[in-house]
């Protein structure tokens, strides 16, 4: 069964794309079949995966507007280890076009039906806005991962995002949940970092990932080479951090699957 994760935060510069690319690569490294979907018109997840965005004939824009199927837009990123549905500036037009389409919030979910059970994980890199593209990602997903820096303004934005996710869940996708909050650009020597981190644990408990993503030069360099950090420098702290995150995500996923089986068994007794 495919698990779909939206990587979302309306605040820019918090590590959404870095997390999307490197979580996809880490899960693939651990033996999972992974599809990365770039939903940001900037196309950074596309170029960060080694694909030239300006030369593309089919992208997620064409999928959302019904010009091609999801399967037709997939590009294998063999060295990175995952498949990609890319994006470029064409996606900006999708916002306007979607407003004129019936069931516009479900376009991505419907497109994914043809990919059912082909992948273990689908990772959606959302744009830095609570737009129709992000809403489509939430409707198509089971889970949301929220990357955030440990700073006070980030806490304010987090509350608004969690409320939006709850509304989307109530109105459009009852299966949607905040799966985890990921602390990025983490510096434990900073007292503010520790302060905000403690507040996150206080409010969100075990939904805060134990794994943290440190500030790491090699991790920052990798996108300019079109490579995930595992491909660019597997020995770096950034690579170790994303492998740790992928392992933690798999443990959580396995635990949820076990709990679901147990509840079904109890229901039959």
pLDDT tens string 123-176: 999 999 889 999 999 999 999 999 998 887 777 778 888 998 999 999 999 999
Q: Please compute Rg for the chain using Cα positions.
A: 18
Q: What's the pLDDT at 266?
A: 53
- Sheet bearing 208-214, strands edge to edge: 75-77, 82-85, 34-38, 121-125, 3-7, 143-149, 177-186, 208-214
Asked if residue 114 lies in contact with residue 71, where contact means CB atoms within 8 angstroms, the answer is: yes
pTM of the shown model: 0.93
Q: At residue 55, does pLDDT exceed 90? A: no
Domains and CATH numbers, the chain: 3-268 (3.40.50.300)
């Amino acid at each position: 069964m495919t698990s779909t994760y939206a990587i979302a935060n309306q605040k820019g510069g918090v590590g959404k794309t870095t997390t999307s690319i490197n979580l996809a690569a880490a899960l693939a490294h651990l033996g999972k079949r992974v599809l990365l979907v770039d939903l940001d018109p900037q196309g950074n997840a596309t170029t960060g995966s080694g694909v030239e965005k300006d030369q593309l004939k089919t992208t997620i824009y064409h999928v959302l507007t019904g010009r091609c199927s999801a399967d037709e837009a997939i590009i294998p990123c063999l060295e990175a280890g995952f498949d990609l549905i890319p994006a470029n500036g064409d996606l900006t037009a999708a916002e306007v076009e979607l407003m004129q389409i019936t069931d516009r919030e479900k376009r991505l979910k419907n497109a994914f039906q043809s990919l059912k059970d082909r992948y273990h994980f689908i990772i959606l890199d959302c744009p830095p806005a609570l737009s129709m593209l992000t809403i489509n990602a939430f409707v198509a997903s089971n889970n949301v991962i929220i990357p955030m820096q440990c700073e006070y303004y980030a806490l304010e934005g987090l509350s608004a995002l969690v409320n939006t996710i709850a509304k989307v869940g109530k109105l459009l996708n009852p299966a949607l949940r905040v799966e985890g909050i990921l602390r990025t650009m983490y510096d434990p020597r900073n007292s503010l970092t520790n302060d905000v981190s403690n507040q996150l644990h206080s409010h969100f408990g075990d939904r805060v990932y134990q794994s943290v993503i440190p500030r790491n030069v090699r991790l920052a360099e990798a996108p300019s080479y079109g490579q995930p950090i595992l491909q660019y420098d597997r020995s770096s702290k950034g690579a170790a951090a994303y492998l740790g995150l992928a392992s933690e995500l798999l443990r959580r996923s396995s635990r949820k699957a076990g709990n679901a089986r147990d509840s079904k068994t109890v229901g039959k007794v």
